Homo-oligomer: A and B are copies of this chain.
Amino acid sequence: MSERGRGPDLSRGEFGLLILGLVGRREMYGYEIVAQLRATTDGVVDLPEGTVYPALRRLERDGLIAGRWVEMAEGTPRRRYYRLTTAGEHALAVGREEWLRFKAAADSVLGS
């Protein structure tokens, strides 16, 4: 087994890894992820909802995160909270290392 669906690759412009990074800290819901991403990165990463929600569905489909619906108080919209699965924790660890390698590689080309 293994080598099945290699997980999100930041170096190829896939922001799924950043979502894994946030969800790895604590359970989080989509709308919150959008805001946290913007806040944590000082606005540098500012993904529209049309990017984040489909990405969450892919990550869940691929078994890297697991979601559950949480009903909120009267008239407040319900939320879908996500947490990392074991596969997601692994993908995050792998992704972090790939990111380190890619950073060094790009820096060596760009001379930073």
Contacts and interface: CB of A to CB of B under 8 A. Distances in A.
Contacts of A22: 109
Give the one of A18, A37, A101, A106 with max B CB within 10 A: A106
Q: Binding site of A, secondary structure by majority: helix, strand, loop or mixed?
A: helix
Contact of A112 (B100, B105, B106): B100
Copies in the complex: 2
Nearest to A13: B13
B102 A44 contact: yes
Contacts of A99: 106, 110, 112
Interface of A: 10-14, 17-18, 21-22, 37, 40-42, 44-45, 95-96, 99-106, 108-112
